[in-house]
Structure 1
Amino acid sequence: MSNVLVLHGFTSHPTLTMGPLPETLRKAGFTVAQPTLPGHGTRPEDLRGVRWLDWLQTAREAYQALPEPRAVVGLSMGGLLAGWLAAEHKTAALVALAPALGFKNRLAYLAPLLHHVKPWAHSTDPAEEARRRARSPNYPNFPTVALVQLIALQRRVPELLPRVRAPALVLEAAHDDTVPEAAVRRYFALIGGPHKGYRVYQSQHDMLLDPLAQQISDDIAAWLKEKLV
C-alpha cells in the first residue's frame, strides 16, 4: 500500500478545494493524508501571525507520519511545500499542480512594504467578491501579512528543487489567472531528477474545482500507480 500526502493552497479550503482527487486516490488503492495548514479552514483572520515555517512544519509532520513508500501532491502553495518535502526526503513521487513560484499580479510583491497601510488583500468590487464566494470554498480575502509569508516561502523553494530526485509530474493550468506559465515552467526546470513530466490542462488555477477536475484526478492517480509499482 502506497501513501500520498495531499497539500492544499494558500487561503484554500483544506479538503473542498482538492475536489475529487483524494477520493480518486483512495479508490485507486492509496492511503491519503490531508493536513490543514495553519490558518486555513476556519476564517481569514486566523492567518494573522502564521509563518511560512508553520505551514512547512505541519506538512513535514504529516509527511513523516505516513509509512513508506510516500508520495506528495500539492496545489499552488501546496506545490511549493511538496517540492520542499521531496527535496528533504527520499520521496517516491512528486506531483505539483500550478505550483505558485510566481504571481501574475506583480503588485503582490509590494506586500512586504504595504501591509501596515493595507492590512487586507481582497476584491474592491463587492459584486465580484460575492460571485467568488458562491463558486469557491476559499477565503474571499486574507491578511496582507499572510501574503508576505507566502512570498518568503516562494523565494526559498528554487534553491531546493535541484535536490529533488524523485519522479515528478508538474501540471500547468492554461487559463491560470494567479500563477504565470513562466513560473510553473521554472519550477519544472529546476527539479533535479531526470524522470519528470509536464502536462497542460485547459483549466483555471483551482484545477481541482474545474470541469476537468475528474480527468486531472484520474490522470494523477494513474501516473502515481505507474511510478509506485
Structure 2
Amino acid sequence: MNVLVLHGFTSHPIRTMGPLPNLLRGAGFNVAQPTLPGHGTRPEDLRHVRWQDWLQTAREAYLALPEPRAVVGLSMGGLLAGWLAAEHETAALVALAPALGFKNRLAYLAPLLHPFKPWAYSTDPAQVAARQAKSPNYPNFPTVALTQLIALQRQLPRLLPRVRASALVLEAAQDDTVPEAAVQRYFSLLGSPHKEYRSYPSQHDMLLDPLAEQVSQDIAVWLKERLASA
C-alpha cells in the first residue's frame, strides 16, 4: 500500500504535514514525500519555478511508487493530487483544504502587480522573524510565485471531472486562506463515483492545529479501507 503525500504552497515539505506521514507509516503504508521545487530552502528559490515544475516533481514521485497508489495533498498539494488522480488510475485521493480559490481576492492581482510589488509580504527582518516563530512555512514569498499557483488553479477544473478514484475532501471550517466555496467546488467537480466530504473546525494548516492527530487518523482509516478493496 503506497501513498504520495504532497505539501502546500510555501509549506515546509516535512514539518507542515504534522503527524500524518508517520501515522501512515505506522499503519503499514509506504509513504513518499517529495519536496516541490522552490520549497524547503529559502523563499527566493520560488522566483523562477513554474507550476509545471511542481506537477512534474509530483508526477515523478507518484510513478516511482508501486501500485496500488493513493495520493494525499494539502492546499496546493490537493490541486496537484487531483491532477494526478485525473491522469492515472489512482486507488484513492485525499485533498485537505484544496486551494482552488482564495479568500483574499486581492491575490488575483498578482499577475499585474508582481513587477511592482516583488514580495507578497514584507521583508522587514522583525516581521519575518515574527512570522517564522508562528509557522514552519516561508515567512514571505515572491509575488511572481503566486501567479504560478493561480495558473494551476485555472487549469485544474477541466481535469477534476476525469477523476474516477474514491475521494475524500476535507474542509477546514476556520480556514483564513481558502473559502468553503472553493473546497465545495473542488468536491463537486470530481468525477469520482464514490466521494466523501468532511468538515473539521480546523485552520488552513489542518495538520498543525489541535485536531491534527484526529484528522490524520481519519485519513489513515479511510485509506486503509479504500486500498484494501483496491
Change (3 A) 1:128 1:201: farther
The amino acid across from 1:140 in the alignment is P
The whole-number CA distance in structure 2 between the counterparts of 1:219 and 1:131 is 33
For residues 81-127 of structure 1, what are the alpha-carbon distances to aligned partners after superposition, in whole Å with 9 as ceiling and x for unaligned? Answer: 00000000000000000000000000000000010000000158976
The whole-number CA distance in structure 1 between the counterparts of 2:30 and 2:208 is 22
SS at match of 2:214: helix
1:66 aligns with 65
**Structure 2 regions of 5+ residues with no counterpart?**
none
2:155 aligns with 156
2:39 aligns with 40
Contact 2:123 2:140 survives alignment (8 Å): no
The amino acid across from 1:66 in the alignment is L
Alignment of 1:50-199 (within 5 A): 50-123=49-122, 129-199=128-198
The whole-number CA distance in structure 1 between the counterparts of 2:84 and 2:118 is 31
TM-score, scaled relative to structure 2: 0.97
2:21 aligns with 22
Task: Quote the RMSD (CA, aligned, Å).
Answer: 1.2
The amino acid across from 2:42 in the alignment is R
SS at match of 2:11: coil
For residues 141-181 of structure 1, what are the alpha-carbon distances to aligned partners after superposition, in whole Å with 9 as ceiling and x for unaligned? Answer: 00011000000000000000000000000000010000000
1:134 Cα shift?
1.0
SS at match of 1:209: coil
Q: Percent identity?
A: 83
1:131 Cα shift?
3.6
TM-score, scaled relative to structure 1: 0.97
For residues 24-68 of structure 1, what are the alpha-carbon distances to aligned partners after superposition, in whole Å with 9 as ceiling and x for unaligned? Answer: 000010000000000000000000110000000000000000000
1:6 aligns with 5
Alignment: residue pair count? 228
**Structure 1 regions of 5+ residues with no counterpart?**
none
The whole-number CA distance in structure 2 between the counterparts of 1:128 and 1:116 is 22
